[in-house]
Structure formats: C-alpha cells, structure tokens
Structure 1
C-alpha cells in the first residue's frame, strides 16, 4: 500500500510501484504476488504531485483497514513534518502496527519519524536532508550516504531512484533473486544497487568542476586509470604547475587530486566486482592500483570494507570469491 501526501514526488511513487507491477507481470503462477493500492494521506482521493501530474487514490487513510503487507510512504515536496495533522499521525501509526513492514522513500522518512516509527533505528534519506533529519530527531541514527537501510521491519531509502533499488531488494526478499534480476532487466535499470552502497558517484562529482579543462582531464583519467595519475602527471596534462594545479583542484572539487583519483579507482573497481567475474589481480591492474594489496588498502580507506567482502555482498552474478585480499 502506497500512502501519498499532496505534492507527492511522482517517481517516489511510480518507481517502486512499477517494480512490483513488473513482478506481477513476470510471475508465472496464480495469484499474482502483489496487490497494489494507492491511498490518499490527506484531503480527497485526488493527489496532486510535485511535477503537476495528478494521481487518483482508491481510498483515504481514514478508511484503510489491515492487515497490510508493505506500507510505503513516499516523499512529498515541501511537506514539513509539523504540517501533518495529529489525526493523520495516529492513522499512520495504526497502519504501521498492522503492516508486516514499513518503507519510506526519500524524505518520507521525516513522516515516519514524526510518527515515532524510527526512534532508535538506523535510517537513511536523501543526502541533502540527512543532517536536518538527524537534527530534528536526535533519537534516530541517520546514515545519509546509504542507498537504503533495513532496521528490523522498517526500511528507509535515499532519494527518488533509490526507491526502485529498495523495491528490487524487497522483491528479492519476497520472491527470490532470479525474479528480482528479471524485473531489473525489464526496467532497464543500469545496475542493481544494494543497500550499504553510497549514494554518491565520484564520476558524477567530477562534472561539478567549473573549468572545462578539469572536467575533460577527469573524463580522460576515468578512461585511463591504469596510467600515471600523479599530481605531476595530471598537472602536465593541463599545462599547469603541480602546485597551482593542486590548489585549483582542491578549490573546485573539494579534494586533493590523489584522494579524488583513489576514489575514481575504487568506484571503477566496485563496478567490476559487482558485474564481472574478473579476479582481484586483474581488477587491481585495470584500475591502476598496482597490486591487490594496494587495492585492499584503498577499499578500506574509502568504503571501510575489503574487496572480497564487497563482492560477496554486492555482486550481481553468481560467482562468490574465495580469493585472499
């Protein structure tokens, strides 16, 4: 059941909804595994969305009765927790108590927090809002760099498309990995991201540089991670002195060149660990670490986990590594 407030973020509703809908379409047995329902959290059955496309609910929150398998609370643009009426909070608590599991997408976590459903739990939300959630609700442990988090029967996800990642995980939990991967492929999801992964992409961050020369340099570096990418070599590529290059780089990207390149290499290695069966030595060479031990140290610094553990947790193929890092 999706509980939507006025100004709902459309993709927070439609993305997870389509995951479950696709699971119904691909399920080869009867009955279908999911019965999808949209419920209006406030006002009448018409729900305005932040993008302007209206939705029509089948019922209002007041008329809902349990039991409920999965209660999903998407984000609502501009909705402050204190704007949710005490009556609506009581209904949310009632529905949550009747639900097998409770899910928030993006800033839907603020609504669950206002209802007291996140007290003492580990949660995540959109990276822009994590510090605000932690400040408002100090009893919550906010990890705002995670894709999604499960704590007991409460699941919280990061912003927008992360809701689809969480829905895929719920589907896998319910009906198995094979169907979850078929749905992900059907929806042309580029990569199946698992909980615990960071919301941030180093490659995407490289595009915030104001200078075209820096953006072009980092695009080149991403494609040549096995080359010499020392400060001196990078500075020479853009015809700057190493000292001036390091200063400009830190100003525009908020990091030293060495740390940024290390994160690029770790991100590339992560993708290979998730999607390929290449051994660790091959990955370390292709990503420019120079050896397995150097890659292991980099993973510990950046991700707080060694490569073999990362692959065991996040790999999208059936290979489980027995390699020693």
Structure 2
C-alpha cells in the first residue's frame, strides 16, 4: 500500500509500483497487490504537475496490510502537519507487517511517532531538518536505506527502487531480485549502507577558515601524512581543538573525514581508470590495497573490485 498526497514525487510512486509489478511478471508468488491511497481518495497533483488517480481513500482503508509505504516530495511538510493523514498512517502501521518511507516521507512516519527510538534515513538535504524537528529519531543521512525492526526508511527518489528490490529479495529470494534488477536495467542491488552522495559535495564548504583550509589540504594531498597531529600542526592549533572544529563544522573528526575523502577519491579512480588496485590505494593514501578494501566495505558495503565491476570502464 502506497500513501501519497499533493506535491508527492511521482518517480517515487513509480519506482515502488513498477518494481513490484515487474516482480509479479517474473513469477513472484504470492503476487504483490499494489494500492495507491490518498486523503479522501482524491487524485493527487504530483510535484511534476502530473495528476495521479487514487485507488482508495486513506480514511476508509482497513488492514491487515503487508507493506505500508509513504512516499516523499515537496508536499511532505504539509502532509506531516495534516493530523488526519498522520493519524491514519499511524493506525494502518499498527496492522502492517512492514512500514516504510521513501525520501522525505520519513517526516510523516516521524510525525506519527513511528520512528521514535529508531535509526532512520532520509534525503541528505533534509536530514538536519528532520533531526531538529524530531529529536527522538536517530537520523543517519549516509545510507541508501535503513531497517530498524519492521520499519524501513530510504533516501531520496531512486532510493525507492533500492528499497523495493530489497523487499523483493526478502520476500522471494535473491534470484528473483537479481532478475528484476536486470529487467529494470539497474544495479544488481546497491547495499543499503552505501553512501548517498560524495563527501566532496554533500555539504557546503566549511565557513570556518581554519577548517576550510584543512579540508582543502586534505583533498589536495590524499597521499600525504594526514594524521590528526600533522593536520593540527599545519593548521596551527592543537589536535584536540582541530577535532572540535571538525566535529562542529564538518560533522566528523579529522580522521573520519580523511578516511571518507580517500574512499571517495579511490571510488573515482576505480571507475575512471584501469589502474591496478594497489596503485589506486597508493595514490589515495591507503597503506595497502587491503586497507582500502576494508574502508570500502565500511563505507560502501562492497569491495573495490566489485565497485569497479559494476561502475567501472568497459
């Protein structure tokens, strides 16, 4: 069951419903029965301007429900402030085997209290706002999707497809999920803990001059000595003070930022060159290819070799 509202994101509705229909065509058994529900059963005008007809009114929908999924979109704020909509989502969640959201749809689940005490993700651009508005939610903007108990949240837009493929694998096994991914000409499945977006573009440049200079030095000298002590000496501050500055302005310690910056640079070299793994590791400042492999597993949920196979040059 997909819950939509005015100014929802059309592609999120389509990713979920098209993938489930594709699973049915490939022999999913029992087959999925999808239903788009909206407030009062009215058609919804999506953010793109296209109008989508509902199949049932949210208010009259009864359980049991297998999967209840709320999509996101520019209308998510108004949806979260709609007491009737939120109340019916909360009611249906109580009779659902699995509850999920895509992108900013997480705000509706949070407003309903369904994410309290849980880890949840959303589109990286809205994560700070969500954490501020719902302090009882442990917001993590890094993964493509997260599962905490029977509640799942996913990142923006096409993260809906990653989440739905994960559901298909859970329900019908990896073989059908792989066949579905091939049919839809998408990744054989991106791991849920793969990062949403590059370290270098996921936030504006730090507004603190010392932090900005240090970040620029890191990104320009990845194969150099980037230990916290060395960076602190370069910045002219103590290592402890530099760590406080980074946490305050970047959200990570210097060591964490260096680790992710090197991983991002390695990911770029892996897909844009045919350099051996050892050469990529050396250029990006890793002590060995094995160290790079461990960082990749932590950050992307995959190995450098697998990353190159999926994204690299043909």
Normalising by structure 1, what TM-score? 0.69
Partner Cα separation in structure 1 for residue 175 and residue 260 of structure 2: 38
Q: Distance in 2 between matches of 1:172 and 1:149?
A: 15
Alpha-carbon distance, 1:296 to partner: 3.8
Kept in 1, the 8 Å contact 2:127–2:139? The answer is yes
Tell me, yes or no, if structure 1 residue 20 matches structure 2 residue 14.
no
Q: Which residue is equivalent to 2:147?
A: 150
Q: Is the 8 A contact 2:130 2:139 kept in 1?
A: yes
| Cα deviation digits, residues 222-277 of structure 1 (max 9, x gap) | xxxxxx9868xxxxxxxxxxxxxxxxxxxxxx9999985652214555x79xxxxx
For 1:116, the equivalent position in structure 2 comes to 113
The verdict on how the C-alpha distance between 1:148 and 1:296 changes in structure 2, with shifts beyond 3 A counting, is: same
Segment drifting more, 59-68 vs 286-295: 286-295
Aligned length in residues: 259
Tell me how far 1:47 sits from its aligned partner.
Answer: 1.0
Alignment-derived partner of residue 264 in structure 2: 263
The residue that corresponds to 1:34 in the other structure is: 32
Superposition RMSD in Å? 3.7
Alignment equivalent of 1:305, drawn from 298, 303, 308: 298
Cα offset, 1:311, TM superposition: 4.2
Name 2:10's counterpart in structure 1: 10
**SS in structure 2 at match of 1:130:** helix
Q: Check conservation: 1:4, 1:76, Cα contact below 8 A.
A: no
Aligned to 2:124, the other structure's residue is in SS state: coil
Q: Is the 8 A contact 1:19 1:164 kept in 2?
A: yes
8 Å CA contact 2:118–2:138 kept in 1: the answer is: yes
Tell me, in whole angstroms, the C-alpha distance in 1 between the residues paired with 2:259 and 2:303.
25
| 1:285 pairs with 2:282 | no
CA contact (8 A) 1:81 1:114 kept: no
Retained in 2: the 8 A contact 1:230–1:258? no
CA-to-partner distance for each residue in 1:119-152, whole Å, 9 max, x for gaps? 0000000000001111111111111011000000
Contact 2:71–2:101 (CA under 8 A) maintained in structure 1: yes
Shift of 1:90: 1.9
Distance 1:288-1:299 versus aligned 2 partners, 3 A rule: closer
In structure 1, distance between residues paired with 2:278 and 2:297: 21
What residue ranges of structure 2 are gaps of 5+ in the alignment? Answer: 206-220, 225-249, 310-314
Q: How does 1:1-325 map to 2 (within 5 A)?
A: 1-27=1-27, 32-40=30-38, 42-80=39-77, 84-190=81-187, 192-201=189-198, 205=201, 260=261, 263-266=264-267, 284-285=277-278, 287-289=280-282, 294-298=288-292, 305=298, 310-311=302-303
- Conserved? CA contact 2:144–2:191, under 8 Å: yes
SS at match of 1:156: strand
Aligned partners of 2:13 and 2:71 also within 8 Å: yes
Rate the CA distance shift 1:169–1:286 in 2: closer, same or farther, 3 A.
farther
8 Å CA contact 1:124–1:157 kept in 2: the answer is yes
